[in-house]
Amino acid sequence: MSLSEQQVRELLQSVNDPLLKRSIVIRDVKISDKHISVKAALAKTASAEQMDVQQEAVNKLKEAGADSVGLRFEELADDELSPADKEKINPGTPPLLSEGNDTHFIAVASGKGGVGKSTVSANLSAALARQGKRVGLIDADIYGFSIPAIFELERRPEVKNDKIIPPEKNGVKIMSMAFFSEDNSPVLWRGPMLGKMLNNFFTEVVWGELDYLVLDLPPGTGDIALDVHRLLPTSKEIMVTTPHPTAAYVAERAGKMAEKAEHEMIGVIENMAYYESKETGKREYVFGRGGGDAIADKFTVPLLGRIPLAQPNENGESGSSSIFTEDHPIGGIYKTIAGQVINKLERVYTH
């Protein structure tokens, strides 16, 4: 049967905000045939509690006849919360951000989109894990989350004791906004909401002991990049660019932002550096040359590596994962890059 907006709102009246112990706030309901789209507000988003609410709401609507349900959540505004409400949701300082924590934070940034930054973040994380390191990866590219797809990760996080247990793939613990978005829906939140969500990735997720936490930042110098710089005062930064002069030019702006936030840039990775013919071995510099060197010289940091254009499954292997294996030539390049990162941050790496 087709549900009316009033019926949807009545059904969701019994779904409570776990922190505030009252009905969730329904902002908007849209109905198209048997698809129902709901926008709701909670005291805290991107949390274990949101995942429980999400599942409960979807189940109730599908049991009542909806074929598919799309949910979007935002956090309640400050003026919607009483002082008692705010006391309930204040998480304090998470262990990962506490003083004395030995985790190395690495933010992977770019000046513009389309340079393969997320693929670099994922493969760098996997390469660090192959070196025996305990690695976490936060998909902080909130508007363009892609890390689960890059890893071909189908499992979602588990919820235990009101905390989120991140799924693991290729030895890397992963958290992404993709886990909180139904049907690959776009994220339409304002900057402050996204900043709170990012903070919850630190407060609500049980990471355990990590040697490295890699953050795949959104491209450019927007709100999320600023929030990361605020949350992680000791973060290191790796800049990803292509050889093209325009990509290098905008990467310079992102690098200057990191400098102003007193984040140490530890190197540059030039992605899509060239295409190498399997038949002749000849290299074609499709996007030009010199972009990575220009940024490295500008900030007096090493060029950690040049990644050529290639597919991990170029030999017809099944699967869509974009993670290069260790015995793949590009996997070898990432191994070398990971070694340089370890050597820089730990000063103990040997081949």
Backbone phi and psi for residue 168, each to the nearest 5 degrees, phi listed first:
-125, 140
d(CA 129, CA 41): 37
Residue 293 contacts residue 92 (beta carbons within 8 Å)? no
DSSP state of 131: T
Pick one of 3.20.20.450, 3.40.50.300, 1.20.1340.10, 3.50.50.60 as the CATH number of 95-346: 3.40.50.300
> Counting Cβ atoms within 10 Å, is residue 157 exposed (0-12), middle (13-18) or buried (19+)?
buried
d(CA 154, CA 143): 20
* N residues, the chain: 351
Q: Burial code of 330-343, b = ≥16 C-beta within 10 A, e = fewer?
A: bbebbbebbbebbe
Instruction: Name 225's Cβ contacts closer than 8 Å, sequence gap at least 6.
Output: 109, 217, 218, 254, 257
Considering only CA atoms, give the Rg of the chain.
22
- How much is the pLDDT for 318? 41
Q: CATH 3.40.50.300 spans which residues of the chain? A: 95-346
Q: CATH 3.30.300.130 spans which residues of the chain? A: 5-89
- How much is the pLDDT for 351? 42
pTM of the full structure: 0.72
Instruction: Name 40's Cβ contacts closer than 8 Å, sequence gap at least 6.
Output: 12, 24, 25, 26, 27, 53, 57, 71, 72, 73, 74
Residue 170 contacts residue 57 (beta carbons within 8 Å)? no
- How much is the pLDDT for 210? 93
In sequence order, the β-bridge partners of residue 32 are 35
Mean pLDDT by 10 residues, the chain (351 residues): 86 91 92 88 84 90 90 88 75 66 88 85 96 93 82 87 88 88 54 64 87 87 64 82 78 70 85 88 88 88 93 54 90 96 75 42
Q: Does domain 5-89 have CATH number 3.30.300.130?
A: yes
- How much is the pLDDT for 154? 84
- How much is the pLDDT for 258? 67
Q: Burial code of 256-292, b = ≥16 C-beta within 10 A, e = fewer?
A: ebbeebebebbbbbbbbbbeeeeeeeeeeeebeeebb
